[in-house]
Amino acid sequence: MAGALDGIRILEFSEIIAAPFAGMLLSDLGADVIKVEPPTGEAWRISAQFMPGESRQFISLNRGKRGLSVNLKEPEGREVIYKIVPDMDVVIINYRPDTPGNLGIDYETLSAINPRLVYIENTAFGRKGPSSHRPGYDLVVQAMTGLMAADGKTSETGVPQAINPAVADFATGITIAWGVCAGLFARERTGKGQKIESILMATALAMQTGSFMELDAIDAAFTGEFAERVRQARAAGASWDELQKIRKEMRPLFGAFNAYYRCYITRDSVIAIGCLSEALRRKAAAAMGISDPRFDDPNMPAQGPEARAIVGKVVQEAEARMREKTTDEWLAIFDAAGVPAGPFKSVEELRDDPQVVANDLMVDLEHSLVGHLRMVGPILTMSETPTAVKSASPALGEHNEEILAGLGYAAAHIADLRARGIIG
């Protein structure tokens, strides 16, 4: 059976993570995706290469695509693109803000060739505002949007550390794929294409919905006080350590019942429990055999020094109990009690995990240069339009001849373009 996007043709101008991930997801849905790269290859292909022109990162984000390497700085290179565009349904692009116009692949240019084109552009900070001109990567966006501060990881010297993997990039990849599907659906209704914009900053803020939201009834005074203290401290030339002290003093206690949503060391490893309702927290406390006075006193404070002291005592008791049994023993106890729990694992341990295997989350592929590889498969299953992996990632320019011949280029012309560096 054909995939949900069978027959949809996508031209992808992309590098690094967000847009390549989006294109891979759309390929899994059946779309024909052409990945456009410069003749030297995109940045992620040539970063940490384990063989010429191939890196683990690139292979992991570009499966199921056809590869076209073309020099868009040359008129003949752009002419190749202009011949392809009339047959395309979608263009995905995530270059720095000024690049599409400089290369002649901006929305205005390409939509003039094909008005039905769904064109989705991803930028770090959007097209407006004081940072709109800046390039930006996941690390920078994490730092600027509070994601890094919320995670709270620091180096030994107190320097904030990024969340890994690149959550803003990967989440934006899903956002782009969502936008493409919405744009195609709208085109079915209207017959018109459109420009869609995704923004790394928007995705990063969207993942912090509760924290970013301000409720006048409870937050306005706190938010104002916090912002004013930070502003005054910066104006006075405060150091990073002094600013961190203000943040720690004013940060609310993370969840009144955070003893039940965390990892614990067991006798042989680590286990995570996740209880986000009082019913589940009561079950967890009973299963661990600990006493929590908050269950018996609804008026006990949820924030402040007293609440922190209570949480500290509960956690201390729980930590001691959890060390008494192995992870497997605790899993059996929590399963019987209906408490959400799971063992701590590294991603390398999951390649043959029975849960991964049972749900067909790994696929085996043959790469034209690298050979056999295994990687995570489609993240959706569909009963009537099944998802499927078409192929491994393309080698640099692997489908140049196929694509250009389909546009009417003769073999001698293709050879001449390659000799002059127009294609890779």
Residue reference for tokens 């943040």:
247
**Verdict on whether the full-model pTM lies above 0.95:** no
Q: Give the pLDDT band of residue 253 (cuts 50, 70, 90).
A: very low
Evaluate if residue 118 carries a pLDDT over 70: yes
A 10 A CB-CB count for 383 gives: 6
| Buried/exposed 153-187: b ≥16 CB within 10 Å, e otherwise | eeeeeeeeebeeebbbbbbbbbbbbebbbebbeeb
Taking only the tens place, the pLDDT of each residue in 81-107 is 999 999 999 999 999 999 999 999 999
- What is the rounded distance in angstroms from the CA atom of residue 242 to the CA atom of residue 246? 7
Are the C-beta atoms of residues 214 and 222 closer than 8 Å to each other?
Answer: no
Q: Which of 12-21, 252-261, 340-349, 384-393 has the lowest mean pLDDT?
A: 252-261
**Nearest 5°: CA angle at 153, between 151 and 159?**
125
Are the C-beta atoms of residues 63 and 95 closer than 8 Å to each other?
Answer: no
Q: Mean pLDDT throughout 308-324?
A: 91
Q: Which residues neighbour 71 within 8 Å (Cβ) at sequence distance 6 or greater?
A: 38, 39, 77, 421, 422, 423
Are the C-beta atoms of residues 252 and 278 closer than 8 Å to each other?
Answer: no
Q: Give the pLDDT band of residue 243 (cuts 50, 70, 90).
A: confident
Dump the DSSP string for 73-104. Answer: TSHHHHHHHHHHGGG-SEEEE-S-TTHHHHHT
- What is the rounded distance in angstroms from the CA atom of residue 242 to the CA atom of residue 244? 5
Q: Mean pLDDT throughout 192-216?
A: 92
Evaluate if residue 319 carries a pLDDT over 60: yes
Please report the pLDDT score of residue 226 as a whole number: 73
